[in-house]
Structure 1
Amino acid sequence: MSKKLSKFPFVFLVIIALLTIIHPSLPSGLYKNTYNNADVAWMLSAVALVLIMTPGLAFFYGGMVNKKNVISTMLQTFICMAIITVLWVVFGFSLAFGDSIGGIIGNPTTYFMMNHVIEGKPWPLAPTIPFILFAIYQLKFAIITPALITGAFAERIRFISYCLFICLFFIVIYAPLAHSAWHPDGLLFKFGVLDFAGGTVVHMSAGWAALASALYLKKRSEPNHNPARVTYVLLGTGLLWFGWIGFNGGSAYSAGTLAAIALANTMTASAAAALAWIFFDSYKGKKPSAMGTCIGAVVGLVAITPAAGFVSISHSLIIGVVAAVISNLVVDWRTRTSIDDTLDVFPCHGVGGMVGMLLTGVFAHQSINPANTTGNGLIFGETHLFLVHLVAMICVSAFSFFGSLLLLKVTDMITPLRVSKEEEEVGLDISQHGERL
């Protein structure tokens, strides 16, 4: 089956070309609306900011692996920009934001081949920007989510198998979660879950998929390694931090106060988490490292993501510190187990996302964002929002973990997931791509 699969990319491109000819997305007439030019300009900038996070993630992960696997690890992240974009245009946007089917998934025909998007009415939750701009902004979130998973099975997965897995993950895991959390008719949205910029949809789904991947693919032949380029990690962290301003700030869909609050919370939580990580390392007798600083900063960015537009700046400090300490402890726990999550995606993204989700239920206040109709957080004497997030966290975790395990098994049945021992020893750069650093 794997030999037949090697012909699939060419067949896939031919099918897409035929669909484009048969079903062109020509506008019947642009929607007549006076958009807010400031909002449009900010969201165009936010699209670029979020996109640069994916190359940033490539450097972040690429610097952490063995030198013989740098190119393969970075390419696994980069290729998401190509694969997910094509899926998004054909039917992915419809799955996430099309007419709701039971609050679980969108109708794949609603915006098939992006029809009715260029001339479409603005998205109800983003009324001051063109619908096409909303669609392309959301695409960037869809791109980076499967890319986050790559750190868990780095240095031991076949490239073609990986490409198939992320297609399945996008369709079966990401799209339903995006629809449920961000569509007005979605189950999580109606349940009252607050996910400002993707703590649930992006980081929890990727984190639990990472844990499932690490368990399924088992340990590498050489689990111990030295990072190839710590300077790459620093560069990647800088690009991620820079891009996260658009990731969280852009989720306000306007160039107003809410975007500024989200931006400020993003900066604050990440800074607090970076410091908390290296201070906690020092408390445990470790030297404050560049790697630790970078990991802490990213954990803070992850944790503030669901809360960025719902909490105060002072509370974002607490979120950053708490997330860094808990993730640090989970990393220590993971190293004592047989779980080979190569770059600790689950402790950082999965756990960071869950901490952020729960602390949103603790610190959110309706005065920050009137769109919060669920209620105030636990610290303000209300329990409803926290309980909603607790239940949703359990459900999303189970769905993402067991769904990903199933997809890994399906992928493995179609084409083997793991490289051979010999290919792993040579390194994936050579064995998968015929290139070297």
Structure 2
Amino acid sequence: MLNTGDTAWLLGSAALVMLMTPGLALFYGGMVRAGSVLNVMMLTFVCLAVVGIVWLLYGYSLAFGNDAFAGLIGNFRLAGLHGLSEATVGPDGHKVPLLAFAAFQLMFAVITVALLVGAVAERARFWPWLLFVALWVTLVYIPLAHWAFAFDGFAGPGTAGGWLVNRLHALDFAGGTAVEVDSGAAAVALAVVIGRRHGWPSQAVRPHNLPFVMFGAGLLWFGWFGFNAGSALGASGVAATSFVNSTLAAATAVLGWLLVEQFRDGKPTTLGAASGAVAGLVGITPGCGYVEPVGAAAIGLVAGVVCSVAIGLKYRLRLDDSLDVLAVHGVGGLAGLILIGLFATRAVNGAGADGLFYGGGLDQLWRQAVAAFAAFGYSLVVTFGITWAIHRTIGLRAGREAEFDGIDEAEHAEGAYDLAVQPGRRTAVARAVEGGQA
């Protein structure tokens, strides 16, 4: 029998995670120049359409179906979401519809590939990007989701799942491997293949709309409650812990990021506050259901500091990861995954483990490190191959003139802002000039 409370929680969480994608579009859109904002928002928003179709046709089946080969990928038995309409999942008393779970996981896939827009902002063509999204979700995200999220027995009695969670026994509550580290590594590959923006880094690129950035960050923080607490798959004590831990980690990360800015640059910035909140949420994502609130606050503080410092990496490496996907999601995800090995405790979640600070020794720490670097390496190599193939055939990057003029007009024949003065109307400056000449 279905648990209606848990079902409502899971569906509501799926809706919150869906909201993160338009929130990310605002966040990214405000960080670029005015002539590229529509393109960046379109590249982000359209991930909902492309990934939704992939998930229906075969994505869910390959990610969560019975393992087909050595814990690396599922099978096609659930293609087309076949057989999910009447199926349930969960322990007795807490069963939810399997379709609700499939919808929840779909939103994870969408937001993960949407994060990659930040690596190619202001220079990516629209239709080649759609092809990239479909291939990347298929070849990178879906296998990693199988590795990290598909538990043995989930697809039915006697079925097998992914190797990270079932063989290595790494802990990843809500997506440190398949979402955060995955996207950070992919951003490196994208930035290397597609190349630097013309004039970067000698010409600074300033955000054109910081209120967009702040509002987008707020929507991301709001949606992240569904992302993290929803991963408990029910309205439970672990969900409440994940909810509180997410807030605390974001709070300490904001302060950590702003302190770095103050000492380094002399001023705290609104962009820094928004970025710090996201960094803290990234850092706590893998461990939100395994650590105590004090541990969550510590993880958030570390994430805020190290991610802020890591922003400088792209300048040292001359890697034009435009909106800092590597620094925030890659570095933050690596930190969060590894810190589970220090702060995890079975007192929070009996399905977890005890980290070094709770008497567990180094056992969980090395497992977390292996999971983190396995996800990073796989995503880096496969994303490089996908991007290189698309870029060398149909061309992923926009032309030089389009980039200088603003890619919105070249790709979409639109502009975000109509700044032209309408015929028959005069500005206040024009009236004042005319009055002075009279």
Same fold (TM over 0.5): yes
Q: Decide which structure has the larger Cα Rg and report it.
A: 2
Give the paired residue count.
Answer: 401
Residues in 2 aligned to 1:389 and 1:150: alpha-carbon distance in whole angstroms: 27
Say which SS state the counterpart of residue 280 (structure 1) adopts. Answer: helix
Question: What letter corresponds to residue 359 of structure 1 in structure 2?
Answer: L
Q: Given the alignment, which residue of 384, 402, 424 partners 2:403?
A: 424
Indicate the residue corresponding to 1:21 in structure 2. none
Give CA deviations for 1:53-72 in whole Å, capped at 9, x if unaligned: 00000000000001100000
Gaps of 5+ in 2: 152-160, 417-438
Check if 1:377 corresponds to 2:355. yes
- Tell me the TM-score normalised to structure 1 length: 0.90
8 Å CA contact retained: 2:85, 2:98: yes
1:317-366 Cα distance to aligned partner (Å, 9 max, x none): 11011111111111123223311110111000010000000011111111
Tell me whether 1:100 sits opposite 2:63 in the alignment. Answer: no
Of 178, 196, 210, the residue aligned with 1:201 is: 178
Q: Deviation at 1:124?
A: 6.8
User: 1:189 maps to what in 2?
Assistant: 165
Per-residue deviation, 1:395: 1.4
Residue in 2 aligned with 1:350?
330
Name the structure 2 match of 1:312.
292
Which amino acid in 2 is paired with 1:110?
R
User: C-alpha separation between the residues in 2 aligned to 1:40 and 1:392?
Assistant: 30
Secondary structure at the aligned position of 1:63 is classed as: helix
CA gap of 1:125–1:139, structure 2 versus 1, over 3 A, is farther
Moved more, 40-49 or 69-78: 40-49
Q: Give the counterpart letter for 1:151 in structure 2.
A: G
1:291 aligns to 2:271 (yes or no): yes
Which amino acid is the alignment partner of residue 196 of structure 1? F
Change in 2 beyond 3 A, CA 1:231/1:157: same
SS in structure 2 of the partner of residue 287 of structure 1:
coil
Tell me, in whole angstroms, the C-alpha distance in 1 between the residues paired with 2:181 and 2:50: 21
Residues 126 and 253 in structure 1, CA contact (< 8 A), matched pair in contact too? no
| Cα distance per residue 1:203-231 (max 9 Å; x no partner) | 11111000111111111013321211000
Q: How far, CA to CA, are the matches of 1:370 and 1:428 in structure 2?
A: 51
Which AA in structure 1 matches 2:163?
Answer: L
Q: Name the SS for the 1:306 alignment partner.
A: helix
| Corresponding residue of 1:405 | 384
Question: Which runs of structure 2 are paired with 1:8-407 in the superposition (5 Å)?
Answer: 34-102=1-69, 103-107=71-75, 109-122=76-89, 128-184=95-151, 185-190=161-166, 191-223=168-200, 224-372=204-352, 375-381=353-359, 382-407=361-386
| Alpha carbons of structure 1 residues 150 and 429: separation in structure 2 relative to 1, 3 Å | same
For residue 125 of structure 1, report the CA deviation from its aligned partner. 11
Deviations 1:271-324 (A, max 9, x none): 110111111111223311110000000000000000000000001111011111
Shift of 1:379: 1.6
Distance (whole Å) between structure 2 residues aligned to residue 309 and residue 319 of structure 1: 13
Aligned to 1:17: none
Deviates more, 1:410-419 or 1:130-139: 410-419
Specify every segment of 5 or more residues in structure 1 that has no aligned partner in the other structure, as ranges: 1-33
Contact 1:126 1:134 in 2 (8 A): no
SS at match of 1:196: coil
Q: Distance in 2 between matches of 1:175 and 1:95?
A: 7
Normalising by structure 2, what TM-score?
A: 0.89
SS at match of 2:53: helix
CA gap of 1:208–1:69, structure 2 versus 1, over 3 A, is same
The change in CA–CA distance for 1:258 and 1:228 in structure 2 (over 3 A counts) is: same
User: What amino acid is the match of 1:188?
Assistant: L
Mean Cα deviation higher: 170-179 or 39-48 = 39-48
Aligned pair in 2 of structure 1 residues 124, 161: CA closer, same or farther (>3 Å)? Answer: farther
Moved over 3 A (4+): 123-127
Q: Distance in 2 between matches of 1:404 and 1:134?
A: 27
CA distance in 2, matches of 1:124, 1:424: 53
Cα distance in 2 for residues equivalent to 1:189 and 1:127 = 22
The answer on whether the counterparts of 2:88 and 2:96 sit within 8 Å (CA) in structure 1 is no
Cα shift readout 1:19-45 (whole Å, capped 9, x = no counterpart): xxxxxxxxxxxxxxx111111111121
| Pairwise CA distance, 1:428 | 1.2
For the residues of structure 1 that align with 2:391 and 2:8, how far apart are their CA atoms? 44
Indicate conservation of the 8 Å contact 2:184/2:331, yes or no: yes
In 1, distance between residues paired with 2:49 and 2:248?
33
Counterparts of 1:212 and 1:286, CA distance in 2: 33
- Structure 2 residue identity aligned to 1:377: G
2-structure distance, mates of 1:344, 1:297? 14
Residues 66 and 391 (structure 1), Cα distance of their counterparts in 2 relative to 1, 3 Å cut: same
Deviates most, 359-368 or 117-126: 117-126
Instruction: Give 3-state SS (helix, strand or coil) of 1:341's partner.
Output: coil
Identify the residue that residue 6 of structure 1 maps to in structure 2. Answer: none
CA contact (8 A) 2:112 2:180 kept: yes
Q: Contact 1:156–1:220 (CA<8 Å) still a contact in 2?
A: yes
Distance 2:305 2:355 in 1: 22
